[in-house]
Amino acid sequence: MQDLTPAAAARLAELAARFGVPVDAATVLLQALAQGQGTQAQFNHPALGGMGQWQPGMMMLGDMFNNGLKAQVDGLCHALAALWREGGVFLPAPAGAAGGFGGNWWPAELGAPASSGAQNDMAYAYFPGPARLALKNGGAMQLFDTTGFSIFGVSQQQGGPAQTLVFATDRGPMSTLQMPLIA
């Protein structure tokens, strides 16, 4: 479980109070949303109706006939997803912690990514605040400018020796070939 930045912890507490749930329930939900890249969540907390799933337009709770609670949790999910997309929610992992290639491989001045992932010899980290996408392929790191759009998902295709990443953005699917290269 990642630790929250002080600013994110304060916002989380405000949202928990606004939606009438305990802070620990909102924290469980935020962690689940982070796992789902801000677009979906699977969670389990008694204050949230037990086991549940959320994505925009779909809300399922273990307490399936409690429509008031469904509306409450749905509203909180939308608010927490917006918070997560802003970035800077989680503190950076300590050096040597899991993060793709044994710790933070991206430039330190970018801070903590809103999302990151790795598979095989490729990793990415997205930083909405500074509008940057870091991509590591093998030993080479590239930095892309994401000014003017938001990334909220990623898919990786593998075909022979080549791997490609396609990012889901508010402008539709984009590859790094469509993004300005910085470094």
Q: What would the pLDDT profile of 68-105 be if each residue is shown by its tens digit?
A: 999 999 999 999 999 988 887 877 654 444 443 345 78
Look at residue 100 in the predicted model and tell me its pLDDT. Answer: 39
- Any idea which residue has 């928990």 for tokens? 16
Q: What separation in angstroms does the CA of 97 have from each of 26, 44, 90, 102, 105?
A: 25, 26, 14, 6, 11
Lowest mean pLDDT among 89-103, 113-127, 161-175: 89-103
Predicted model pTM = 0.55
Average pLDDT of the residues of the chain: 84
Look at residue 98 in the predicted model and tell me its pLDDT. Answer: 42
Look at residue 71 in the predicted model and tell me its pLDDT. Answer: 95
Look at residue 124 and tell me whether its pLDDT is greater than 80. yes
Buried b (16+ CB within 10 A) or exposed e, 106-125: beeebbbbbbbbbeeebbbb
Look at residue 152 and tell me whether its pLDDT is greater than 90. no
